[in-house]
Amino acid sequence: MSNVPKGQISIEELENVHITIGKIVGAIEEKYEKTEAGGMTPKPGVSALRDWDHSLLSRYQPVYTPMCDQCCYCTFGKCDLTGNKEGACGINMEGHQAREFLLRVITGAAAHSGHGRHILHYLTDKYGKDHPIDVGPSNLLAPNIQTVTGIEPKTLGDLEPAIEYVEEQLTQLLATVHMGQEGAAIDFESKALHGGMLDHVGMEISDLAQISCLGMPKSDPEAPLAEIGMGCIDATKPMLLAIGHNVAGVANIIDYMEEKGIADQVELGGLCCTAIDMTRYQMDQGGVPHAKVVGTLAKELKMIRSGIPDVIVVDEQCVRADVLQEASRLSIPVITTNDKIMYGLPNRSNDNVDDIIEDLTSGKEKGALVLDLDLLGELAPRLTLEMSPIRKEKGIKALPNEEELKVLIDKCVQCNACELVCPNNLPIMKAMEIGADGDFTKFEFVHDQCAGCGRCDQACPKEIPVLDVIEKASQKAIMEEKGHIRSGRGQISDPDIRAEGVNLVMGTTPGIIALVGCSNYPDGTKDLYKMADEMLRRNYIVLTSGCSAMDLGMYKDENGETLYEKYPSKFLGGNLINVGSCVSNSHITGTAIKVAAIFAQRNITGNFEETADYIMNRIGAVGVAWGAYSQKAASIGTGCNRYGIPVVVGPHGSKYRRALIGKPYVEEDWKVFDARNGEEMPISASPEFLLTTVETVEELMPMLAKNCIRPSDNNMGRMIKLTHYMELSQKYLGHMPEDWYKFVRSETDLPLAKREELLKILEKDQGWEIDWKRKKILSGPTTKLDVTAQPTNLKRLCKGEC
């Protein structure tokens, strides 16, 4: 092997050969480490990648499902666009929906990059612009930043031009949303894809900065486990609850409590991504996380209404708008710490801690805006210790007691208003009916599926606090809500990619399933657990982050183990990896980029299109945002889409208004070029979509297996993927999928144990010609197995083109 030249090897006219690449990987790595010349599109502007987008959108067409048939953007309107009519400015429904989608994406991207800007400034002030970026044993530190901007950051200061680029582009995109101007839906779509790509740069900036400065795990498969669940909170201690996505302030709180030796006296818990990042803080050397995770946004109102928190600190993003009102009813002071949420509170950033404490403990003020995070570090824990006895003494009662519960349930007149208004149409009326006889099982069912929105309360004509009733009646189940979550490990490291890249490209590790996003599930949290467990058992790599990472830790198997305890967390098949919080989603696209850069020696620097082309045709990865509701989930998914990574959202995701779905029955849509000679090469229709919705997890699982199939699969890889697709369809849909044969390129793609049986079906049902002596397919498949083929969507990459 030592004589093999470094660089690309082309073996023509070899069929059915299974090549295992071992030592070449070392050579590839050497190549990467040499400085590469920049790619074609460093810091692309709004139209720079338009051709790429249009080619994606010609295969995956936008499918619009408007949330509203009217447009009320400007004073020309409002305009009724029903039936794809044009409004007064000339835009039609399609164009308007694409514009609405773009707006969602840039809102999400702005939330992440606004976070990135805040934390980068804060950390640069504190640690200096020369503070090194240290995210683990990697040379490729910032795959998204490098691919998109061409910048290879080494220090915090190097992140500055990258965030400036994102901000400038987001402004340009926002400008296109102004009335008039763009009329073509496809160009709004291209802009949305641009926004999604920017989002991954913004997220990466945030996470690189915080991992480097706040001692978060650095690509650590052994990152510690943290406690999670409402049931794990010790309500006997004074409790401080942090909600949001930006850990900067809470890090100071933890430092203060450690320094003063009061950490044991305060129960520190968190909701949403701040909670995840609290469990990452200072865990790069291992240890016991400084905080517990209460759960996702779905638990926010429930946790406040439990009355357990003595003080609430909020920062930014997924935080309910009514935290102050809800908390004040229960004498819980609220501290807001970020420009994004101020709740109309007085700014106390320059005041004395004792004065603020006096005003809050006396009830003179309901809360305070504290933008000085050093002040916050001292204020929040001290206030918690003081508030706890005061609230106890006041006898603050949150949920109804047993007798009151009965009275409330008896007030129900079975009008069904709550069920109609509930976003999930949960059977609350039925729960009330059987709850009247003391049977609370239906309430427990409702609690499990309830997203904690509080709409039922507002609808009830009898003024029953419906959510409180649900929560009180489910107390037993809530006490059992305890689990473990592995604190986020951050990036997948370069050595991880070296070890596993080949299996991903050949398909012998059947795929990466990325479970991300929020908690607006269609049928409760357990679905996520079921799905992850099934795919892990089948040797898929499951990456997770944010709220999904939390909910995966909420269930235990018969041995009392959560998935994080049951499965290891290396970057290998059958491993479960929590990358971290919302902004850590950039490591998912980052992983795919790293495979292109490290395993395949592609020049990624400022070279988006070629990197995406590589990923799209070779890396079997599917993102799943099963409970997606935020705009951030839309931008994360859209960023994946521009790299050619398909994303599935749960049924609520249909409210994002548009999907990107291909038509497998249109043959000309499923062709790529073979870069060796520029010839067109038919491929199987996978991924079938870039963004779609799915009804149930049972439907989802076979779909995941199918959509991990890629043109580059070798015969072993395709056989493995096809086996999972067929088995999962049989297990969950009760049938052999109708299109399985479309993924068969040769008999070697068929599972060995079933080969003969399947060949018979191919002969009988599809009319394929089989040589039964050699058990070989002679004719029939529409796609060819050729491990040396180099599938690409970019004609210019083909031999002889440039």
Partner 1 sequence: MVDTTKNTLVYTTWGPKSAKPVNPITISKLVSKAKRPLLVAGSELMKDEVMLEKAVAIASKGIPVAATGHSIKGFLDKGVEAKYNNIHSLAHFLGDKNWTGLDGKGGYDLILFFGHKKYYLNQVLSGFKNFTDLKTIAIERHFMQNASFSFGNLKPDLHVEALDELIENL
Interface ranges with ligand SF4 (CB under 6 A): 71-74, 76-79, 87-89, 91, 179, 412-418, 422-424, 426, 428-429, 432, 446, 450-456, 459-462, 464, 466-467
* 57-91 per-residue burial string, b: 16 or more CB within 10 A, e: under 16: bebbbbbbebeeeebebeeeeebebeeeeebebeb
Q: How far is the CB of 421 from ligand SF4 (least distance, A)?
A: 6
Contact 551, 529 (CB under 8 A): yes
Q: Which is nearer to partner 1, 539 or 654 (CB)?
A: 654
Q: Which is nearer to partner 1, 654 or 788 (CB)?
A: 654
Q: Which is nearer to ligand SF4, 189 or 500 (CB)?
A: 189
Q: Which is nearer to partner 1, 84 or 139 (CB)?
A: 84
Q: Which is nearer to ligand SF4, 77 or 346 (CB)?
A: 77
Q: Which does 613 bind (CB under 5 to 8 A by kind): ligand SF4, partner 1, none?
A: none
Q: Which does 574 bind (CB under 5 to 8 A by kind): partner 1, ligand SF4, none?
A: none
Residues near partner 1 (CB under 8 A): 61, 63-70, 80-84, 93-94, 416, 420-421, 423-425, 459, 522, 651-652, 654-655, 659, 661, 663, 665-666, 688-689, 692-696, 698-699, 703, 732-735, 737-738
Q: Which does 694 bind (CB under 5 to 8 A by kind): partner 1, ligand SF4, none?
A: partner 1
**Calpha distance 347→337 (Å, rounded):** 10
Give the orientation angle of helix 428-435 with respect to helix 441-449, to 10 degrees: 150
Q: How far is the CB of 330 from ligand SF4 (least distance, A)?
A: 17
Q: How far is the CB of 411 from ligand SF4 (least distance, A)?
A: 7
Q: How far is the CB of 429 from partner 1 (least distance, A)?
A: 10
Q: How far is the CB of 287 from partner 1 (least distance, A)?
A: 44
DSSP string, 148-172: HH-----BHHHHHHHHHHHHHHHHH
Contact 497, 594 (CB under 8 A): yes
**Residue for token pair 């995941």:** 704
Q: Which does 695 bind (CB under 5 to 8 A by kind): partner 1, ligand SF4, none?
A: partner 1
Q: Which does 782 bind (CB under 5 to 8 A by kind): ligand SF4, partner 1, none?
A: none
Q: How far is the CB of 635 from ligand SF4 (least distance, A)?
A: 23
Q: Which is nearer to partner 1, 69 or 769 (CB)?
A: 69
Structure tokens at 677: 């000679």
**Calpha distance 777→762 (Å, rounded):** 9
Which residue in 285, 243, 236, 284 sits closest to 264, CA to CA?
Answer: 236
Q: Which is nearer to partner 1, 417 or 720 (CB)?
A: 417
Integer angstrom CA distances of residue 72 from 80, 143, 292, 543: 9, 40, 44, 40
Q: How far is the CB of 594 from ligand SF4 (least distance, A)?
A: 39
Q: How far is the CB of 690 from partner 1 (least distance, A)?
A: 12
Q: Which does 693 bind (CB under 5 to 8 A by kind): ligand SF4, partner 1, none?
A: partner 1
Q: How far is the CB of 780 from partner 1 (least distance, A)?
A: 19
Q: Which does 746 bind (CB under 5 to 8 A by kind): partner 1, ligand SF4, none?
A: none
Q: Which is nearer to partner 1, 94 or 267 (CB)?
A: 94
Q: How far is the CB of 435 from ligand SF4 (least distance, A)?
A: 10
Q: Which does 412 bind (CB under 5 to 8 A by kind): ligand SF4, partner 1, none?
A: ligand SF4
Q: Which is nearer to ligand SF4, 190 or 520 (CB)?
A: 520
Q: How far is the CB of 186 from partner 1 (least distance, A)?
A: 15
Q: Which does 462 bind (CB under 5 to 8 A by kind): partner 1, ligand SF4, none?
A: ligand SF4
DSSP string, 689-752: EEEEE-S-HHHHHHHHHHTT--TT--HHHHHHHHHHHHHHHHHHHSS--TTGGGG-SSGGGS-G
Q: How far is the CB of 176 from partner 1 (least distance, A)?
A: 23
Contact 318, 452 (CB under 8 A): no
Q: Which is nearer to ligand SF4, 455 or 671 (CB)?
A: 455
Contact 223, 604 (CB under 8 A): no
Q: What's the one-letter identity of residue 223?
A: A
Q: Which does 93 bind (CB under 5 to 8 A by kind): partner 1, ligand SF4, none?
A: partner 1
Q: How far is the CB of 301 from ligand SF4 (least distance, A)?
A: 7
Looking at 214-352, list the stretches that DSSP marks H as alpha helix, in order from N- to C-terminal side. 248-260, 273-280, 300-306, 323-329
Contacts of 382-385 with CB under 8 Å at 24 or more apart are 382/353, 382/357, 383/311, 383/333, 383/335, 383/356, 383/357, 384/238, 384/239, 384/240, 384/266, 384/310, 384/311, 385/238, 385/262, 385/265, 385/266
- For 652, residues 6+ apart whose C-beta sits below 8 A from its C-beta are 423, 520, 522, 627, 628, 629
Structure tokens at 256: 């203060």
**Calpha distance 596→505 (Å, rounded):** 10
Q: Which is nearer to ligand SF4, 375 or 467 (CB)?
A: 467
Tell me if the bond preceding 381 is cis, omega within 30° of 0.
no
Q: How far is the CB of 665 from partner 1 (least distance, A)?
A: 7
**Calpha distance 575→563 (Å, rounded):** 10
Structure tokens at 574: 């059958």
**Calpha distance 622→535 (Å, rounded):** 12
Q: Which does 63 bind (CB under 5 to 8 A by kind): partner 1, ligand SF4, none?
A: partner 1
* Total residue length of the chain: 802
Q: How far is the CB of 64 from partner 1 (least distance, A)?
A: 6
Q: Which does 529 bind (CB under 5 to 8 A by kind): partner 1, ligand SF4, none?
A: none
Contact 693, 656 (CB under 8 A): no
Q: Which does 652 bind (CB under 5 to 8 A by kind): ligand SF4, partner 1, none?
A: partner 1
Q: Which is nearer to partner 1, 211 or 648 (CB)?
A: 648
Q: Which is nearer to partner 1, 734 or 767 (CB)?
A: 734
Q: Which is nearer to partner 1, 423 or 574 (CB)?
A: 423
Q: How far is the CB of 98 from partner 1 (least distance, A)?
A: 13
Relative to beta strand 679-682, strand 776-779 is unpaired
Q: Which does 164 bind (CB under 5 to 8 A by kind): partner 1, ligand SF4, none?
A: none
Give the orientation angle of helix 185-213 with respect to helix 50-59, to 10 degrees: 110
Helix (H, G, I), strand (E, B) or coil at 792: strand
Where residue 71 falls (left for φ over 0; alpha for ψ -120 to 50; beta otherwise) is beta
**Residue for token pair 């901000």:** 167
Q: Which is nearer to ligand SF4, 26 or 180 (CB)?
A: 180
Q: Which does 73 bind (CB under 5 to 8 A by kind): partner 1, ligand SF4, none?
A: ligand SF4
Q: Which is nearer to partner 1, 397 or 735 (CB)?
A: 735
Q: Which does 688 bind (CB under 5 to 8 A by kind): partner 1, ligand SF4, none?
A: partner 1
**Calpha distance 762→743 (Å, rounded):** 12
Q: Which is nearer to ligand SF4, 459 or 736 (CB)?
A: 459
Give the orientation angle of helix 608-618 with respect to helix 586-594, to 10 degrees: 90
Structure tokens at 628: 């997606």
Q: How far is the CB of 57 from ligand SF4 (least distance, A)?
A: 23
Q: What's the one-letter identity of residue 144?
A: N
Which residue in 572, 481, 638 sits closest to 108, CA to CA?
Answer: 638
